[in-house]
Structure 1
């Protein structure tokens, strides 16, 4: 087995390697004056089972497209040099939100990204709490693994909520299945009934609208659950609506903390008591780590390390995914 982490995922890669009790395998990355780049393994991969870790959220140091292109080329390089198979671990999968046409002549970018990975020879794609699991599975012909992350937050949620009555709130209709699965899982952890609520949301040109609120949140602590937080507009709107409906407290839980421009407004808004995300986009989260009273960042390395172990040893991975046992 060989484990590589590209530059943008070095923090996460080292954490996963430490969890597995190994060291990352060496690689070289070069950037040229014209904007091109090159990455190659500095150790033989012939006949090896290769795992490549990369973060695909863009920031000021590198765009999404640069990171994706580098990852694709490195996968192909490993295959070119004899790797038996290459598994890609990208906790946040770029372009996964564009999984269908919502306007005339729209691209279906997730499908195109899947075709690129397949063309480069990837045998397996691993991501965490992808935006639309069904679209993700249908887009890829190679093996696709969508890991769950929300159970990693349960201990912190318990600390924040004591023994309050809890309602899980989906901030839009598209996330209701995620909210239902989380509700079922959290009830087993919480040992008491957990409610479910939903809001209406429509987005057009980054303007969020919709006023419908379904569910009883009076005197209850509300957990807003979403796959990612970008500007925080959706979370902020849902939190204010929940409080207007009589909620006692609101916390937000998301797998991915993108925290783009304008996200500071979410941190400054008293409607949201606390925010929990993973370190899938660690660089994006670090800039807001100055808000320790409001932000908790949960490490993904233990889950990803355990996944690699199980894949290597041929064990079941079902309990690490969002797919319930039959």
Structure 2
């Protein structure tokens, strides 16, 4: 919790995407979440106005960039741009933009000619509008930090997810195994396995030559018979890859399959797919609103709070303390 002198120097604002999360962050920090004016004109254009003066203050803006009940992902991005611009024009001392989930981060390179690097375009847009610092959680590619000419803090939910998994393992280490759903998550899966003191296995995947949207896994994977398999990923979008991997594990004799990820984007038809009995349990942090997911998946979905991680990180930023110690260096992996 921030000290009283620092509280008076901070202005915490939330976009319309995930105010519930912002309220939890505010409570953790001991600051007031302001009730700023956000509306949409009949034309579809967004409007934003700070309810109180931000002159000379450190403005913290909370906005996940994702499609939600308040609009599309691009609505969320435009709303964030307006919030940054309003703070800069109102003489804020410093503007920190907190995106628990940051859209477009998977588009971090040119795969073919004549296409954009969308991650770079978004980051440049935020900086040119007036953001002094960016903060995000478990970015798809942490190297995109290099695009921003200034502090870009990469937080990780590894600790809170690992804590939840450790409680589930409860000393029965030989009964559990971490499974990497693809090569891109191999290193992270190995870190989880090392910290949880359980085995790790890797599952190769490839895209269908005729339809690149179709993911293919092997028909069988060894070493998982009779075990509870834990699939680790940074995000779940349409859930095709993760559910396909779960089906392979069940066919290979796995007792249960637990899926754990930081971000639940859950684009259609993700919820329908995740109701597949091959997935026994789904663990997600609440960096993205999960109200609809909880209704659809009921007790299968376990929601892990992200507010304590984000709030403690913002306290360190405002107090000019180190984030490296807070995450024990894991946020640089």
Cα pair distance change 1:182/1:193, threshold 3 Å: closer
Map of 1:293 onto structure 2: 299
Cα pair distance change 1:44/1:215, threshold 3 Å: farther
Map of 1:122 onto structure 2: 131
| Contact 2:18–2:64 under 8 Å retained in 1 | yes
Indicate the SS of the match to 1:55. coil
Q: Which of these residues, 314, 317, 325, is aligned with residue 323 of structure 2?
A: 317
Question: Do residues 236 (structure 1) and 243 (structure 2) align?
Answer: yes
TM-score by length of 2: 0.88
Cα pair distance change 1:77/1:319, threshold 3 Å: same
| Contact 1:250–1:274 under 8 Å retained in 2 | yes
TM-score by length of 1: 0.90
Q: CA RMSD in A?
A: 2.3
Q: Which of these residues, 252, 255, 272, is aligned with residue 248 of structure 1?
A: 255
Q: Could you tell me how far 1:142 is from its partner in structure 2?
A: 2.3
Q: Could you tell me how far 1:178 is from its partner in structure 2?
A: 2.4
Cα pair distance change 1:154/1:178, threshold 3 Å: closer
After the TM superposition, list the runs of 4 or more consecutive aligned residues in structure 1 that deviate by more than 6 angstroms.
Answer: 212-215
Map of 2:67 onto structure 1: 58
Question: Do residues 147 (structure 1) and 170 (structure 2) align?
Answer: no
Stretches of structure 1 that go unaligned for 5 or more consecutive residues are none
Cα pair distance change 1:60/1:3, threshold 3 Å: closer
- The whole-number CA distance in structure 2 between the counterparts of 1:117 and 1:177 is 30
Q: Could you tell me how far 1:127 is from its partner in structure 2?
A: 0.9
Q: Could you tell me how far 1:105 is from its partner in structure 2?
A: 2.2
Correspondence 1:15-94 to 2 at 5 A = 15-94=24-103
Map of 1:95 onto structure 2: 104
- The whole-number CA distance in structure 2 between the counterparts of 1:91 and 1:16 is 11
Stretches of structure 2 that go unaligned for 5 or more consecutive residues are 1-9
- The whole-number CA distance in structure 2 between the counterparts of 1:274 and 1:231 is 17
CA offset digits 1:27-84 (Å, max 9, x no partner) = 2113211111211212111111110001211135301111101101211211111111
Correspondence 1:70-219 to 2 at 5 A = 70-134=79-143, 136-162=144-170, 163-165=172-174, 166-184=176-194, 186-187=195-196, 192-202=197-207, 205-211=212-218, 216-219=223-226
Map of 1:269 onto structure 2: 276
CA offset digits 1:210-257 (Å, max 9, x no partner) = 438777333332111111111211111111222333333210001011
Cα pair distance change 1:120/1:104, threshold 3 Å: same
